[in-house]
Structure 1
């Protein structure tokens, strides 16, 4: 199997095991067994369990950025872009539950490089939202736009955690809840 394909397989399996067991309880032995490789091979690819976790988080971060950017392409106004971006986020959270659980359980990772990677994921989304907002909003106040982007990311992260308790809260419903709460304030920026 080509190296890139094997690495992808290892990351996919590790994501499942980390989500099922939590980072601390997950073992490289179990991950190696599920992948069908030796434990030394995992270490050869990722150097450590934390290195494997970092690879999982980076993979999820890359995918989240791609789906979010793709979703807003062609949006003709700020409201449409916000709705499309939020929907892409909530679909990602629903479809990639294991990846999302790595971010959600960050408190177990405090003091590790993984905590920094999770914060980098948040910052990536905040920067993306701020960039999109600055393209649609008539407000030259970059600090206000950055504050709004932080609020969107934080609010949506908490809403996504809440959604986990309710299977009937689909990505469409979550997007509407978020838009109902966020768009009123953001619309004022768009109209300045």
Structure 2
């Protein structure tokens, strides 16, 4: 008589990979599954099956499902922050030419639109995570948006002359608008391109910000 264990089909074995390559593969698979199914509906078995590895191999890279989820979130957050850093760099590097303020606002909006364009539904791991019951986990998930807000606030504080508390509020409003518009476009876009979204949202934001720029803000050639 054959036992259930004997009759069970063995897990398919994938090709051998270097450690770094295997880690990247596992992160990519986890990213797809978490984005489409949600954290609570994906098991380590699901990820191991998709990667064609044993669970011990998976656990050697990531001790738990939460560790794997947070590694995915960190990777996504790093990509978003790099785009935001690139967007604000021209203002901080200076000198600032007239008309360049709107270009920087557009670059920030574009950073979010391009992020959701590349990441697709996986962008929700940063914007709409379903792992929010634990404050430490929530803080880790929200780190990228918080850091992006802080970097934008640095620029706004200098350009508007407002105190830091005001700059933080303005930056949070800019980030929320860019993030919300980008996510809406991803899910409900009517076929018009990403640039149209960037133009619309940055125009809205700049019309509000332009009136807040301090009169003595140094412009090149002014």
Q: TM-score, normalised by structure 2?
A: 0.77
Q: Alpha-carbon deviation of 1:2?
A: 3.0
Name 1:59's counterpart in structure 2. Answer: 75
| The structure with more helix, counted as a fraction of residues | 1
Q: TM-score, normalised by structure 1?
A: 0.88
Q: Is the 8 A contact 1:57 1:114 kept in 2?
A: no
- Given the superposition, is the C-alpha separation of residues 122 and 104 from structure 1 closer, same or farther in structure 2, using an over 3 Å criterion? closer
Name 1:15's counterpart in structure 2. Answer: 31
Give runs of aligned pairs for residues 76-91 of structure 1, distance below 5 A. 76=96, 77-91=100-114
Q: Alpha-carbon deviation of 1:34?
A: 1.7
Q: Alpha-carbon deviation of 1:72?
A: 4.0
Name 1:153's counterpart in structure 2. Answer: 175
**Radius of gyration: which is bigger?**
2
Give runs of aligned pairs for residues 45-56 of structure 1, distance below 5 A. 45-56=61-72
**2:126 equivalent to 1:126:** no
**Secondary structure, counterpart of 1:24 in structure 2:** helix
Q: Alpha-carbon deviation of 1:148?
A: 0.4
Q: Alpha-carbon deviation of 1:169?
A: 4.3
Q: Is the 8 A contact 1:78 1:133 kept in 2?
A: no
Q: Over residues 7-36 of structure 1, what are the superposed CA-to-partner deviations in whole Å (9 max), with x where a residue is unaligned? A: 121111100011121111112112112222
Name 1:97's counterpart in structure 2. Answer: 120
Q: Alpha-carbon deviation of 1:133?
A: 2.5
**Secondary structure, counterpart of 1:110 in structure 2:** coil
What is the rounded CA distance, in whole Å, between the counterparts of 1:171 and 1:155 in structure 2?
A: 15
Q: Alpha-carbon deviation of 1:155?
A: 1.8
Q: Is the 8 A contact 1:15 1:98 kept in 2?
A: no
Which of 25, 31, 37 does residue 41 from structure 2 map onto?
Answer: 25
Q: Over residues 95-126 of structure 1, what are the superposed CA-to-partner deviations in whole Å (9 max), with x where a residue is unaligned? A: 111430213432x2121344222221220110
What is the rounded CA distance, in whole Å, between the counterparts of 2:196 and 2:82 in structure 1?
A: 22
Q: Is the 8 A contact 1:13 1:31 kept in 2?
A: yes
> What runs of 5+ residues in structure 1 fail to find an aligned partner?
none
Which of 42, 62, 65 does residue 58 from structure 2 map onto?
Answer: 42
Name 1:187's counterpart in structure 2. Answer: 210
